Chains A and B, each alone.
Chain A
Amino acid sequence: MSNKKHFKLTVNGEEQEFLAEPRELLIHTLRERLRQTGPHIGCETSHCGACTVTMNGKSVKACTVFVAQADGADITTIEGLGNPDNLHVLQESFKEHHGLQCGFCTPGMITRASKLLEENPTPTEEEVRFGMAGNICRCTGYQNIVKSILAAASEMNAAKEAAE
């Protein structure tokens, strides 16, 4: 069945236009069509959060959004947050505090954490745990993930203060 339609997304600051079926899931669009393979497919059932991206300022699970719903949206994936030569503070912090083991959940974790810190720059440990509850990690037991996010928050706040 070919009922392809024309869609337009802004992904990591770049406009993308393409033909796709409306039923295509955003995670497949991002990974297979636009080659943004940072967001991962963990469960593909809206549970694990590995596919988390920021869409129009919201943390969303890209496995539970049709590309048609995302038409016109502004999307940021982990690729838009940092790169190997210029890591995001959160990426640096996860590296420093051992916030990952196998690394599969990490792009979703960091993308979600970036939005969490934007909305709440000075979270308590409890607020971090509650705000990260949509992302599952099977390796770490979460302790170092929480530690990494709290450390990144302190660092970002210190940098902000120094700039003022």
Chain B
Amino acid sequence: MIPAAFEYYRPKDMAGVLSVLEEHGDDARVVAGGHSLIPMMKLRMAEVPHLIDLQDVAGLTGISIDAGRIRIGAMTTQHEIINHAGLTDAAPIMREASLQIADPQVRYMGTVGGNVANGDPGNDMPGLMQCLDATFILVGPDGERSVAARDFYEAAYMTDRADDEVLTAVEFAAPNAGYAYEKQKRKIGDYATAAAAVLITKEGGACASASIAMTNLSDTPVYSADAGAALVGSSLDDASMKAAVDAMLGDIDPTEDNRGPVEFKRHAASVILRRAIENAWDRA
């Protein structure tokens, strides 16, 4: 379980990170908490001749909430998200989802930036970010740009991020809505068999808006606009609930693996989405 040798860098600023990325191209990668990348390096499924540690880079940590706009620095850990009272007030779905990621030791190290930038369909934050309609901030040699979470994921481990860019923060509006993050997993620490992020607003007893995203049911997270639309205007009667679940099932594309065959995953996705919608509705 020893990875291939690598050159190690621990720059103090983003300019230092970008210069190594520029020099070594896709032979260089950044590491945040490392709990996705390091296991892959140990298995020699990832070879990283130039490893750039972000832990000392200034400006990548911290959670700010300003006039309903939330910004979370890429190096903010799941442990910090769980224990941040202001964030839990403004966006309780962040805490609810973070508590379902991995286990306590991993949450001390795992970061929001690593979780969203890695592009692993099993990660929980990408679907959550799509549900929140978050924006990712990327910095590269030409400066900063932003990209919508809903446009970021292309395929497993393939994202809109270029090799010479670093994801520095996620931003989203505080969701004034009923919320739920529901996850079915075989055991603590496992990736989801199926997970659903749901935000619902209510007006006069009817659903005014709904945002739904699913995790680990395709080679990218799945934002299902049709599933959300199926709920709007309804008071969550059986027909609209079934329409939302059917719409979601039309958007996912799970594959068989050791978590089960395709039919089982579609069943689990249906159960988990119903549960998430009911929770979010009760909290709206």
Interface set of A (CB-CB < 8 Å, partner B): 1, 3, 5, 21-23, 25, 44-47, 49, 52, 58-61, 63-66, 68-69, 71, 112, 116, 130-134
Q: Of the candidates B1, B5, B34, which one forms a contact with A1 in the assembled complex, judged by CB atoms under 8 Å apart? A: B5
B39 touches A133 (CB 8 A): no
Residue B151 interfacial (CB < 8 Å): no
A64 touches B39 (CB 8 A): yes
- List 30 A–B pairs whose Cβ atoms lie within 8 Å, in order of A's numbering: A1-B5, A3-B5, A5-B8, A22-B7, A22-B8, A23-B3, A25-B1, A25-B2, A25-B42, A44-B1, A44-B42, A45-B39, A45-B42, A46-B39, A49-B103, A52-B105, A58-B79, A59-B104, A59-B105, A61-B106, A63-B1, A64-B38, A65-B34, A66-B38, A69-B55, A112-B105, A131-B104, A134-B102, A134-B104, A134-B106
CB-CB under 8 A from B2, the residues of chain A are 23, 25
A134 touches B51 (CB 8 A): no
CB-CB under 8 A from A21, the residues of chain B are 5
Closest to A44 in B: B1
A134 touches B4 (CB 8 A): no
- CB A45 to nearest CB in B, in angstroms, measures 6
CB-CB under 8 A from B42, the residues of chain A are 25, 44-45
Tell me the number of A-to-B contacts counted with CB atoms below 8 Å.
81
B1-55 residues at the A interface, CB under 8 angstroms = 1-8, 10, 31, 34-35, 38-39, 42, 51, 53, 55
A23 touches B5 (CB 8 A): yes
Task: For the A-B complex with A22-B51, A58-B108, A64-B39 known, give 11 more contacts whose Cβ atoms are closer than 8 Å.
Answer: A22-B6, A25-B1, A44-B1, A66-B51, A68-B10, A68-B53, A69-B34, A71-B10, A132-B104, A133-B103, A134-B102
